[in-house]
Amino acid sequence: MGLFRKTVLIMLLTVPTSAWAQINKPSQIDEFGRVNSEEIEARLDNATIQLLNNPDSLLQFVFSRGKKDTLGSVYRLYGLMKTYLLVRKIDMKRVAVSFCEPKDQQSGQIWLVSETGPRKSCDPENITIAETTMFDLAPSATMKGIDFGCCIVDSFGPVAAGESLRGFAELLKRYPRAKGYVFSYGGTNKYLTSDSRGRNRVIRNLDTARDVAAMSRKARRILTQAGVDRNRIITKNAGYRDWGAQMEFWIVPHGGVVPKPSPNYPKKRSRK
């Protein structure tokens, strides 16, 4: 167990359970900016204990993306957190989420709220699409890709991408004349190894064309299941990115510029 997680749990155990026994109004139990995998799990372990100690309560997540972040970034973060709670056997009926107007930097809060009482309010993000916009750059919705992580949530990339796609679907439904473009990039799954003499060598194991096609099919299926007409979805197998598999989601308003894929492997040879 990492130092951060140990610190959180020690602090939690020193707080009397009775402090959370009666909740008549939203009670904040956590606040954070950008978090790594270990911090996500530690904070959710804390929130889980608080929830289990208060059987008539809900967890409410309140997210604001950073102004420079993609529109879908907070959906992916929530996807990671929601899936971890499912692993911890938390009933999703006891979890609520609010996506609020952006701030200078990404932020999140976790509140304990009564099942029958008020929720934490915020100004929801009002997304206006006037030109072609990339909704998100996400991991593959089908493949784990490169796994150098330390924690359970590091394997949740496909689930996080699916959560972002569902957020993308809701935006597309608000703009019925817009088109949704999904670019699927296979990964080279690049890693560095060394031989017995200490010489470094780059290894690449490229995803197959079938793998990339599966990414596009999965994205289309998620979008149509969320209520987007198939005729409004354009999927493309977009080449390779020199790392793990990725997906781009673009919304193109009526008359907007059609985006182009931007693979970076193999590198283009410069002209002499």
**Which residue, among 48, 49, 55, 46, has the nearest Cα to 21 in the 3D structure?**
55
Both tokens of 86, joined, read: 């499912």
Query: Which segments of 24-171 are extended strands (E)?
Result: 27-32, 57-66, 95-103, 107-114, 133-139
Cα→Cα distances 229→111, 173, 224, Å: 36, 9, 6
pTM of the model: 0.87
Distances (CA, A) of 211 to 27, 53, 63, 146, 266: 45, 44, 33, 14, 18
- Secondary structure class of 232 (helix, strand, coil): helix
Nearest to 155 by CA among 205, 213, 80, 88: 80
- The C-alpha atoms of residue 250 and residue 179 are separated, in whole angstroms, by 8
Neighbours of 145 (CB within 10 A): 18
Question: What is the reported pLDDT for 146?
Answer: 55
Q: What is the tens place of the pLDDT at every residue in 142-156?
A: 876 555 568 999 999
State the Cα–Cα distance between residues 184 and 194, nearest whole angstrom: 31
| pLDDT computed for residue 52 by the predictor | 94
**Minimal CA–CA distance to 219: which of 133, 153, 126, 143?**
143
Q: State the burial class of residue 186 (Cβ atoms within 10 Å of its Cβ: 0-12, 13-18, 19+).
A: buried
Q: Which residues pair with 113 in a beta bridge?
A: 58
CA–CA gap between residue 25 and residue 28 (Å, rounded)? 10
Kindly tell me if the per-residue pLDDT of 94 is higher than 60.
yes
Q: What is the mean pLDDT of the chain?
A: 90
Task: Using the predicted structure, report yes or no on whether residue 10 has a pLDDT greater than 70.
Answer: no
- Are 184 and 237 in contact by the 8 Å Cβ rule? The answer is yes
Position 20 pLDDT exceeds 50: no
Dump pLDDT digits (tens) for 113-122.
999 899 999 9
